[in-house]
């Protein structure tokens, strides 16, 4: 199984987009997306210095546009899974066909502008806490009145909140940990961004997300989201909710992902995956930074992709578990029975309760892929529904 990952804020570098402008149609594509996002993407990706592209209002649409521009040159129909870190989730949602590219970039523009405005309200920031015991690190962050904004795995938690409280955390770090101040505008993914979340919600209310065409992981809990409307709601909620990239990587491992492509500007997520999954087996990774890396990325898809020969019409669709637990198929539903969009075909039983599993297309239940009480991971197929689904 192959996954394509879309990076988040902090991965950008001056001039990183320049090589992509040599591809046919790329400049006109970026000019159109610049109109949609409200920022000059070509200037930001080629001429702007590090300080200018650190501006949240500019960086967020730039990162989403860069990822989608590169992905247009990949055979995405053979890719099984997409995920993104923070604003990278908008790019991943577009790659999963929940959003159109234009919608994703427009939302990134709104998100960036509103988060930048929220940062200006009071002095806040973020700091990476590296090493130490995970429980002790989280307890120390809480004791200082801060928030664990990013839990990135590999011994890295990002604390966020008031600047004076971050300074106290740095002066009194948890045992065997070090604290590094990050050069960001404010406390992203915390309640300090409530204003931005509300503004984004007002715009996203007019967006009709379609159900994902491939497995799409959520930063909220690492779960595979199968409903487009729910994913749009999660994208809005993520402005103030912590990024659980650790749980996304756990799902990658649970699903047996063997190949990963990180879209430009690549390297950050690949590094986290290598460190987090070294004990269980690191997938083969391609960091796609320039068009020169496209042949290696295409070769990885050819060797790890889900489809040997793509058919233009999908003859079946799998239904996947959205969380970890044990699967219970619907008692009155047998193979060969017709199912309708939204019909509950089973549930995943967790410690917190049961989560319904629903069909996301009309058809016939052709095969159960999980039995009663089988343990399942987020994104794991539990049933196959036949029929010509668009």
Q: Which residues are catalytic?
A: 86, 189
SS3 105: helix
Q: H or E element: which one contains 167?
A: helix 163-171
CA distance 265 to 243: 19
The 3-state DSSP composition of the chain as helix, strand, coil percent (nearest 5) reads: 40, 25, 40
Q: Are 5 and 269 in contact (CB under 8 A)?
A: yes
Residue 338 burial (CB count, 10 A): 12
CA distance 251 to 79: 16
Tokens representing 276?
A: 């987090």
Q: Could you tell me which of 292, 352, 299, 288 has the C-alpha nearest to residue 324?
A: 352
CA distance 271 to 10: 14
CA distance 190 to 241: 6
CA distance 205 to 46: 34
191-220 exposure pattern, b = at least 16 Cβ within 10 A, e = fewer: ebbeebbebbeebbeebebbbbbbbbbbbb
What number of H helices and E strands is found in the chain?
12, 17
Beta bridge partners of 286: 261
Sign of CA dihedral 61, 63, 66, 70: negative
Q: Could you tell me which of 260, 237, 244 has the C-alpha nearest to residue 378?
A: 244
**What burial class does residue 331 get, using C-beta atoms within 10 Å of its C-beta: 0-12 exposed, 13-18 middle, 19+ buried?**
exposed
């Amino acid at each position: 199984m192959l996954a394509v990952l879309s990076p988040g804020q902090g991965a950008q570098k001056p001039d990183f987009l320049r090589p992509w402008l040599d591809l046919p149609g790329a400049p006109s594509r970026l000019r159109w997306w610049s109109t949609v996002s409200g920022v000059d993407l070509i200037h930001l990706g080629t001429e702007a210095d590090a300080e200018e592209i650190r501006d949240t209002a500019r960086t967020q649409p730039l990162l989403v546009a860069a990822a989608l521009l590169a992905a247009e040159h990949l055979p995405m129909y053979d890719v099984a899974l997409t995920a993104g870190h923070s604003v990278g989730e908008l790019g991943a949602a577009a790659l999963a066909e929940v959003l159109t590219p234009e919608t994703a970039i427009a939302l990134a523009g709104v998100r960036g502008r509103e988060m930048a405005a929220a940062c200006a309200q009071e002095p806040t920031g973020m700091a990476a806490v590296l090493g130490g015991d995970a429980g002790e690190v989280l307890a120390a962050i809480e004791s200082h009145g801060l928030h664990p904004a990013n839990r990135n795995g590999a011994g890295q938690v990002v604390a966020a909140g008031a600047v004076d409280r971050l300074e106290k955390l740095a002066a009194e770090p948890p045992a065997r940990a070090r604290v590094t101040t990050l050069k960001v505008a404010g406390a992203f993914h915390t309640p300090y961004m409530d204003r931005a979340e509300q503004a984004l919600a007002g715009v996203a209310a007019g967006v009709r997300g379609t159900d994902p065409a491939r497995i799409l992981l959520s930063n909220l809990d690492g779960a595979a989201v199968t409903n487009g409307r729910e994913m749009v709601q999660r994208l809005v909620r993520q402005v103030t909710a912590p990024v659980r990239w650790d749980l996304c990587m756990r799902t990658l491992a649970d699903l047996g992902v063997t190949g990963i492509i990180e879209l430009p500007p690549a390297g950050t997520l690949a590094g986290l995956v290598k460190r987090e999954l070294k004990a269980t087996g690191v997938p083969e990774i391609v960091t796609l930074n320039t068009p020169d890396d496209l042949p290696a990325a295409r070769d990885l898809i050819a060797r790890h992709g889900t489809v040997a020969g793509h058919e233009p019409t999908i003859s079946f669709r799998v239904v996947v578990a959205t969380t970890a637990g044990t699967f219970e198929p619907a008692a009155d539903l047998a193979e060969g029975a017709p199912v309708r969009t939204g019909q509950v075909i089973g549930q995943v039983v967790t410690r917190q309760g049961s989560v319904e599993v629903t069909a996301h297309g009309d058809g016939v239940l052709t095969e159960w892929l999980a039995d009663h009480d089988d343990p399942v991971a987020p994104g794991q197929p539990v049933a196959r529904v036949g029929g010509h689904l668009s």
